[in-house]
Each structure stands twice: as structure tokens, then as C-alpha cells.
Amino acid sequence: MVTVTPAGASPPDIRVHRAALVEDAVHEFIERRLRSRGWKPYITAYTGYGAPGWARVMGRVLLTRPGLTPKRREKVRGWRSFTTTPASNAVVRIEIGATVTEARTDRSGYLDCRVKGDLDPGWGSAKLSTEGDTPVDAPIRVLDPTVKFGVISDIDDTVMVTALPRPLLAAWNTFVLDEHARTAVPGMAVLYERLVNANPGAPVVYLSTGAWNVAPTLTRFLSRHLYPAGPILLTDWGPTPDRWFRSGQEHKRKSLRRLAEEFPDVKWLLIGDDGQHDQEIYSEFARTHPENVAAVAIRRLSPTQAVLAGAIPGPSETAEVVPSGGKTWFSAPDGAGLWSVLRDTGLV
């Protein structure tokens, strides 16, 4: 049996930020009180990815009152999803076929580790269990070694219409968001489906600066609006061992670099919007990892959406193909426009 240390653990020689120490003390106090009242840990599994021989498994261990059904646990949304109590340093048993690995959650209850296991290309699963709770299946998207093309997509203002001022977006996601509270960007689901159909086996990875707390809600939104299923890479919410709050931009940069290292032969179509930092982050990645970028597709926001996002409104009536930094940048106001330029160039 293989043992994996917590993904979010801090090296012993790193001084932990005061905010993180306070948060840990609060979590420890609440966890101790709830456990004394009979609360038990349960696992929320997130969609992971991998290749033959390994898988990145993600999830979170939280505490719940006795007798709460799994369906009611998964329906927690809005502000309630941010008031859950994590089980830190909890042992999680990960089963992939005949391979068993034990890992521990980090200080916020998150599990994010790369484990060994034989899974066939396509969709597979890892079985996660902790402290006698009913095992849950964590979906795993397994890439075939022959796959050379994939899609990495932003979420807010790229696949779902935000229509909110950026300063209010975090509060909305925290206190209000459910899968019925947003609308899909016109044509984007059809675009992604066509990309997947044109490239059999191509994965779709959703990369966002949102918090892991809303992962179940986002998963339901994508499914409801017929987007291809795929891993959703989010970030934790709150202080880190070295700063007050996590950097969403740095989360995207690290995730892109990690995917390039894990799948060096895959060229990614990077899809985002021009509301905030997608263009800057994608441009930087294209310069440093040109062998891993097929092209960049940017959804242009409407003038109203651009103002709300804090960007300068631009023309949005037509599609454009703009060479930049050795890579082709596609720009259009919706999925239909992006598909027209992608199709005409013969990229897919």
C-alpha cells in the first residue's frame, strides 16, 4: 500500500502566515466540537484526470451531522457551501483497480494527489473512502497516449454569462450561485461538442479562479447546458500558508504549466474571454510553451458585459483571426462565430 502526504501541506521550514494559523485554529476547534457531537466525515469527489498508469484524484473531506443523506449533502449550495467544516489530515483510501493508496487531506480538507493505477483510456473512476463512510466514486478522464489535441476553457463569461460587476462576482458565487442562476453563453456548448466530435478522444478541461466549494454546482450547470464532461480545476478560498488570499491568476498559470508537463505531446486550444486576464495568461503560456498550444480562442464580451467586467468595450459583431506571438488567436462574440473561424482555418 502506498501512502501519499497532504497535497496542501507546508514544508516545516516555511513560516505559516498568521491568517492561516487563525483559520487552522478555528477549524480545529469547530471540528473537535462537532466530532464530540457525533458528526462524521464524508467525501465530496471531484472529477480528475490521468493517463494509463496514473491518475490525479481530487476531492474534499467534510463533516456532516448523522443521518444526512448523500443527496442532501451534494445539494448544498450558495453561502452554505462556504460554512461547511473540513476534516483536516483525514486519511483517505483510494482504490483504482487492484491498486490501493492512502493519502491525507490538507489543512482545508482537500485531497489532490497523483496516484498509480491502471485505467483504460476514456472514462474511469477511483473509489474513495474514509473512516467507515460509504465509498464514493471519483470520475477520472483518462487520456489515450495517441491523443494530441485538447481544450482548456475558462468558465465565467466564457461558458456562462456572468453579467455582474467583477467586485460583486465573488460575493455572488459565495452566497447566491446555483445552477439555475446563470445562463449559458450562446453557441459555446455546440462549439465544444463539435471540437470533441472532430477530435475523437480530445479532453475538455475547465479552468477557473472559482472556489472548490462551488464545484458540484458548476458540474450541474455544465451538464444541464450540454457541455462536454471534463475535469474542473478550481482553487481553495481563503488564506494560504504564505499570504492572505490565493491568487486566481497564479492558480491558472500553475494549472497550465502542470498540464503541459503531464501531457507534453498534447496541443491545447485555449478558450477564454476578453473581460479580465485570460488573454494575458494565455499569451504568456503560448510564449513559454509554444509546443503545447494549438491556438487561442477569445470570446469578445458585449459592451455591457465588458463594462461590468472592468474591460474596455470593443467591436463584437464579427469574427477575427489574428496572428500573435507565433500562434493564431481567434476572436468572436459567441460560439457560432468562433466555430466559423476555427472551421475555416482547418485547425480542427
Kindly list the averaged pLDDT for each block of 10 residues, start to end, along the chain of length 348.
52 51 61 70 94 96 71 49 72 94 90 94 96 88 96 93 58 56 88 94 94 86 95 78 63 96 97 87 93 93 53 47 62 92 76
Q: What is the pLDDT of residue 309?
A: 47
Same domain? 209 vs 98: no
- Pair 330, 188 in one domain: yes
On whether both 166 and 118 belong to a single domain, the answer is no
Q: Are residues 107 and 169 in the same domain?
A: no
For the chain, the first-to-last Cα distance in angstroms comes to 43
- Give Cβ neighbours of residue 348 (< 8 Å, ≥ 6 apart): 149, 194, 195, 198, 199, 269, 342
Domain containing 14 equals: 2-142
Residues 93 and 112 in one domain: yes
Residue 180: which of 216, 210, 224, 226 has the closest Cα? 224
Residues 138 and 27 in one domain: yes
CA distance 48 to 206: 11
Q: What is the pLDDT of residue 303?
A: 47
**Helix ranges, the chain (H):** 18-36, 70-74, 166-175, 188-198, 215-224, 248-262, 278-288, 303-309, 335-345
Same domain, 44 and 172: no
Domains identified in the chain, total number = 2
Last residue within a domain, chosen from 87, 116, 142: 142
Which residues have C-beta within 8 Å of that of residue 141, sequence separation ≥ 6?
47, 48, 49, 50, 123, 203, 229, 230, 231
Question: Alpha-carbon distance 177 to 214, whole Å?
Answer: 8
Q: 205: domain CATH number?
A: 3.40.50.1000
What's 271-296 look like in SS3?
EEECCCCHHHHHHHHHHHCHHHEEEE
pTM over 0.95: no
**Is the same domain home to 124 and 45?**
yes
User: Which CATH number characterizes residue 29's domain?
Assistant: 2.60.40
Residues 181 and 127 grouped into a single domain: no
Pair (156, 115) in one structural domain: no
C-alpha cell at 307: 463594462
- On whether both 153 and 134 belong to a single domain, the answer is no
Tell me which of 142, 170, 185 is where a domain ends: 142
Sign of CA dihedral 171, 246, 75, 55: positive
Domain boundary (101, 126, 142) is at: 142
Specify the pLDDT at position 156. Answer: 86
pLDDT at 286: 92
Is 167 found in the same domain as 119?
Answer: no
